[in-house]
C-alpha cells in the first residue's frame, strides 16, 4: 500500500501500513470520502507528518479529532486555515502564549509555522465526517497514532509532549518521563481553560527544556 507521507515517517510507519487494521481503516476512509463530506481534504490527512519530518520533531501536541466545520481542518491539531475564524480552544492557546511569552495574538490560525519548526500537531483521529464530531473514532486511527507516539518515545530523546486534557494524558501515559519532558494540564477548551490551562506556562517551559538540551527553541508567534 502506497501512503503518501514524508519519507522519514514512511520508513518508520511502513510496518503499520501493512497491518490488517490499517488496511481496513484505509478501505473505510476511502468509502467515507466517496459518499459524504469528510475533513480534512484527502490530500491533507497526513499534513502533520509532511510538514514536520520525523528527523525534525522537537515537540508533540496531541489533539483528539479534526475540526468538523467547513474550511477549518487541514491536518494539524488545533490549527485552522486562513480565512477561518479561530475556534475557542485556539483563542485560549494564543491567550496563554501572550501571557507566558508576551507574544501578541496572531492574525493567522494556521499553525503550519509551528509544524515547520518541528512541532508535530497530531490528532488521535485523522479524519471526521462533516458536522459529526467523533464519527471516525474507533475505526483504527487511534491504534495508528498510538504507534506514532510509541516510536517517538523510543527512538527520539528530549522531546516535549503537550498533553492537554484527560484524553491526551491517557494517550501519552506510556511516555518515558526520563527521556522526554511531558507537560500536562486541562484542555484549552472554554469549559476547562480557567481550571489550569491558563497560567500553565507550557510554552516557556518547552523552550527552556529545549535550550537546556542544546536544541533550537520554538518561535511560538
CB neighbour class for 187 (10 Å; exposed up to 12, middle 13-18, buried from 19): buried
Q: How many helices (H) and strands (E) does the chain have?
A: 8, 6
The string of DSSP codes covering 70-84 is TTT-SSSTT---TTS
CA angle 206/209/213 to nearest 5° reads 140
Distance (Å, rounded) from C-alpha 7 to C-alpha 10?
5
- Which residues are catalytically annotated? 65
Nearest Cα to Cα of residue 129 among 17, 24, 3, 35: 35
Amino acid at each position: 500500500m502506497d501512503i503518501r507521507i514524508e519519507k522519514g515517517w514512511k520508513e518508520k510507519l511502513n510496518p503499520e501500513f501493512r497491518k490488517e487494521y490499517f488496511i481496513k481503516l484505509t478501505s473505510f476512509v476511502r468509502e467515507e470520502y466517496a459518499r459524504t463530506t469528510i475533513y480534512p481534504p484527502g490530500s491533507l490527512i497526513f499534513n502533520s507528518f509532511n510538514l514536520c519530518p520525523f528527523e525534525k520533531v522537537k515537540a508533540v501536541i496531541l489533539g483528539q479529532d479534526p475540526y468538523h466545520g467547513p474550511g477549518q481542518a487541514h491536518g494539524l491539531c488545533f490549527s485552522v486555515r486562513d480565512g477561518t475564524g479561530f475556534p475557542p480552544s485556539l483563542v485560549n492557546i494564543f491567550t496563554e502564549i501572550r501571557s507566558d511569552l508576551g507574544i501578541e495574538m496572531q492574525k493567522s490560525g494556521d499553525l503550519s509555522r509551528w509544524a515547520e519548526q518541528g512541532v508535530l500537531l497530531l490528532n488521535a483521529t485523522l479524519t471526521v465526517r462533516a458536522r459529526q464530531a467523533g464519527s471516525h473514532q474507533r475505526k483504527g486511527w487511534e491504534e495508528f497514532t498510538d504507534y506514532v507516539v510509541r516510536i517517538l518515545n523510543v527512538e527520539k530523546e528530549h522531546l516535549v509532549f503537550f498533553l492537554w486534557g484527560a484524553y491526551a494524558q491517557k494517550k501519552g501515559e506510556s511516555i518515558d518521563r526520563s527521556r522526554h519532558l511531558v507537560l500536562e494540564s486541562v484542555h484549552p477548551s472554554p469549559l476547562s481553560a480557567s481550571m489550569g490551562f491558563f497560567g500553565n506556562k507550557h510554552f516557556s517551559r518547552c523552550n527552556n527544556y529545549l535550550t537546556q538540551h542544546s536544541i533550537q527553541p520554538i518561535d511560538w508567534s
